[in-house]
Copies of this chain bind each other. A is one copy, B any other.
Amino acid sequence: MREVFHQSLEDVRHRLVEISELVTVAIDKATRAFATSDVTLAEEVIENDAVIDEKALSLDELAIEILARQQPVARDLRIVVSALRVSASLERMGDIAEHIAQLTRMRYPERAIPKGLKSTFTKMGELDVEVAEKLTELLRTEELALVAELRNADDKLDELHVSVFEKVLSDSWQGEASATIDATLASRYLERFGDHAVSVAKKVSYLATGDWRTETDTVDVIAFPSP
């Protein structure tokens, strides 16, 4: 019985890593499709999001079954509880990758990235892939040094997000309303990956510390550009 139990917990962790890997692939493909107007790649992301959704739901069901049948305590309980939160964040990251792919497809054969923002959005996309890779590594290893790295990457994403608004609000911006909408939503989505990653990282810290809340739980995210 004890052995079956530990196999289940290993299964939970293994599945979290697997979902995180799928999310990483989705973010990589979505941001590359967005940068290069690759509609085939975008469609792959849109199609594959159902796999991520299914795996997240299935992981939740496993976690609930473990709670019901095996009544874990201490660290084992923390693994299961945090998995229920982490799966929701990963699933949402998959949705956001899908949104970026949808934008790419909607604007095709035009390019989805408004003029003048290509290098910023390329940087944000690369950072997002890096964030997803670090997150997968954190889930695999619980190496807490990665938490600080994720926070740094999130800060950089916030700065780039602000720089998109600065660009759009500058005198040199020639974009029409549709380009402004695209820039605003795409930047918001690309920035949100970082928030979700930090949120997952907190739950991995909880595994180690047993403390559900962290000192940064009430820090604001960037919601609007400065006037």
Contact = CB atoms under 8 A, between A and B. Distances in A.
Interface stretch (A5-13, A102-110, A142-150): A102-110
A89 B61 CA distance: 19
Contact of A223 (B53, B61, B78, B99): B99
Contact of A227 (B64, B106, B169): B106
A217 B61 CA distance: 14
A64 B102 contact: no
A24 B104 CA distance: 36
Nearest to A56: B217
Interface stretch (A14-22, A36-44, A123-131, A181-189): A181-189
Contacts of A53: 217-218
Category for how many chain A residues contact B:
35 or more
A36 to B, nearest CB: 18
Interface string A127-169: 0000000000000000000000000000000000000010011
Interface in A171-227: 173, 175, 177-178, 180-182, 184-185, 188-189, 212-213, 217-218, 220-221, 223-227
Top 8 nearest A-B pairs (CB, nearest first) are A99-B223, A71-B71, A180-B180, A184-B184, A57-B213, A103-B224, A177-B180, A181-B184
A88 interface: yes
A67 interface: yes
A65 to B, nearest CB: 10
Interface string A55-79: 0010011001001100101100110
B81 A212 contact: no
A74 to B, nearest CB: 8
Contact of A217 (B57, B71, B178): B57
